[in-house]
Amino acid sequence: NAGVTQTPKFQVLKTGQSMTLQCAQDMNHNSMYWYRQDPGMGLRLIYYSASEGTTDKGEVPNGYNVSRLNKREFSLRLESAAPSQTSVYFCASRIGSNYEQYFGPGTRLTVT
Protein backbone atom coordinates (compact mmCIF):
# COMPACT_ATOMS: atom_id res chain seq x y z
CA ASN A 1 0.00 0.00 0.00
CA ALA A 2 1.32 3.41 -0.98
CA GLY A 3 -1.09 5.12 1.44
CA VAL A 4 -1.73 8.75 0.47
CA THR A 5 0.29 10.06 -2.47
CA GLN A 6 0.58 13.65 -3.68
CA THR A 7 1.97 15.14 -6.86
CA PRO A 8 3.96 17.22 -7.48
CA LYS A 9 6.34 17.41 -4.49
CA PHE A 10 7.50 20.93 -5.36
CA GLN A 11 6.13 23.63 -7.61
CA VAL A 12 6.97 27.24 -8.40
CA LEU A 13 4.30 29.38 -10.03
CA LYS A 14 4.12 32.96 -11.15
CA THR A 15 1.27 35.13 -9.92
CA GLY A 16 -1.83 34.50 -12.00
CA GLN A 17 -0.87 31.03 -13.19
CA SER A 18 -3.09 28.06 -12.50
CA MET A 19 -2.31 24.54 -11.41
CA THR A 20 -3.86 21.41 -9.97
CA LEU A 21 -2.49 19.46 -7.03
CA GLN A 22 -3.23 15.77 -7.20
CA CYS A 23 -3.97 13.42 -4.32
CA ALA A 24 -4.73 9.71 -4.36
CA GLN A 25 -5.24 7.08 -1.66
CA ASP A 26 -5.31 3.31 -1.97
CA MET A 27 -6.84 2.53 1.43
CA ASN A 28 -10.49 2.56 0.28
CA HIS A 29 -11.15 5.58 2.49
CA ASN A 30 -14.39 7.49 2.14
CA SER A 31 -13.27 10.91 3.39
CA MET A 32 -10.52 13.07 1.95
CA TYR A 33 -9.12 16.47 2.99
CA TRP A 34 -6.90 19.29 1.76
CA TYR A 35 -4.92 21.39 4.26
CA ARG A 36 -2.36 24.12 4.03
CA GLN A 37 0.43 24.58 6.56
CA ASP A 38 2.03 27.96 7.16
CA PRO A 39 4.62 28.93 9.79
CA GLY A 40 2.94 30.03 13.00
CA MET A 41 -0.54 29.23 11.67
CA GLY A 42 -0.63 25.48 11.96
CA LEU A 43 -2.65 23.36 9.55
CA ARG A 44 -5.83 24.88 8.20
CA LEU A 45 -8.53 23.01 6.34
CA ILE A 46 -9.18 24.23 2.80
CA TYR A 47 -11.80 21.77 1.53
CA TYR A 48 -12.93 18.29 2.39
CA SER A 49 -14.98 15.49 0.91
CA ALA A 50 -16.83 13.45 3.51
CA SER A 51 -17.71 10.83 0.90
CA GLU A 52 -17.47 10.30 -2.86
CA GLY A 53 -19.70 12.80 -4.63
CA THR A 54 -19.64 15.45 -1.88
CA THR A 55 -17.32 18.38 -1.18
CA ASP A 56 -17.50 21.11 1.45
CA LYS A 57 -15.60 24.24 2.35
CA GLY A 58 -13.22 24.30 5.24
CA GLU A 59 -11.69 27.23 7.08
CA VAL A 60 -9.81 28.87 4.17
CA PRO A 61 -11.48 27.97 0.82
CA ASN A 62 -11.09 31.29 -1.03
CA GLY A 63 -8.96 31.00 -4.17
CA TYR A 64 -9.28 27.22 -4.38
CA ASN A 65 -11.54 24.65 -6.00
CA VAL A 66 -11.67 20.90 -5.53
CA SER A 67 -12.85 17.84 -7.41
CA ARG A 68 -13.54 14.44 -5.92
CA LEU A 69 -12.81 12.55 -9.14
CA ASN A 70 -13.66 9.13 -7.70
CA LYS A 71 -13.26 7.39 -4.37
CA ARG A 72 -9.46 7.33 -4.69
CA GLU A 73 -8.68 10.80 -5.98
CA PHE A 74 -9.23 14.32 -4.69
CA SER A 75 -7.65 17.25 -6.54
CA LEU A 76 -7.10 20.86 -5.48
CA ARG A 77 -7.02 23.61 -8.10
CA LEU A 78 -5.62 27.11 -7.90
CA GLU A 79 -7.23 29.08 -10.71
CA SER A 80 -5.12 32.25 -10.39
CA ALA A 81 -2.24 31.80 -7.98
CA ALA A 82 -1.34 34.58 -5.55
CA PRO A 83 1.78 34.99 -3.36
CA SER A 84 -0.48 34.47 -0.29
CA GLN A 85 -0.98 30.90 -1.51
CA THR A 86 2.69 30.09 -0.98
CA SER A 87 2.49 27.22 1.48
CA VAL A 88 2.88 23.50 2.02
CA TYR A 89 -0.24 21.62 0.99
CA PHE A 90 -1.22 18.32 2.57
CA CYS A 91 -3.83 15.83 1.52
CA ALA A 92 -5.30 13.42 4.08
CA SER A 93 -7.85 10.65 4.11
CA ARG A 94 -9.70 8.41 6.54
CA ILE A 95 -12.33 5.72 6.48
CA GLY A 96 -14.88 8.14 7.92
CA SER A 97 -15.88 9.94 11.06
CA ASN A 98 -14.44 8.39 14.22
CA TYR A 99 -11.34 7.07 12.45
CA GLU A 100 -7.74 8.23 12.16
CA GLN A 101 -6.62 10.61 9.43
CA TYR A 102 -3.63 9.61 7.31
CA PHE A 103 -1.54 12.24 5.58
CA GLY A 104 0.39 12.44 2.34
CA PRO A 105 3.97 13.79 2.12
CA GLY A 106 2.92 17.26 1.04
CA THR A 107 3.43 19.63 -1.90
CA ARG A 108 5.63 22.67 -1.34
CA LEU A 109 4.24 25.51 -3.47
CA THR A 110 5.91 28.87 -4.04
CA VAL A 111 4.10 31.66 -5.86
CA THR A 112 6.33 34.54 -7.01
Residues that bind other proteins (CB under 8 A): 4, 31, 33, 35, 40-45, 48, 50, 56, 58-59, 90, 92, 97-106
- According to DSSP, the residues that pair with 11 across neighbouring strands are 109
- Write down the least CB distance from residue 15 to other proteins, Å: 25
- Write down the least CB distance from residue 22 to other proteins, Å: 15
CA distance 13 to 11: 7
- Write down the least CB distance from residue 44 to other proteins, Å: 8
Which three-class secondary structure state does DSSP give residue 84? helix
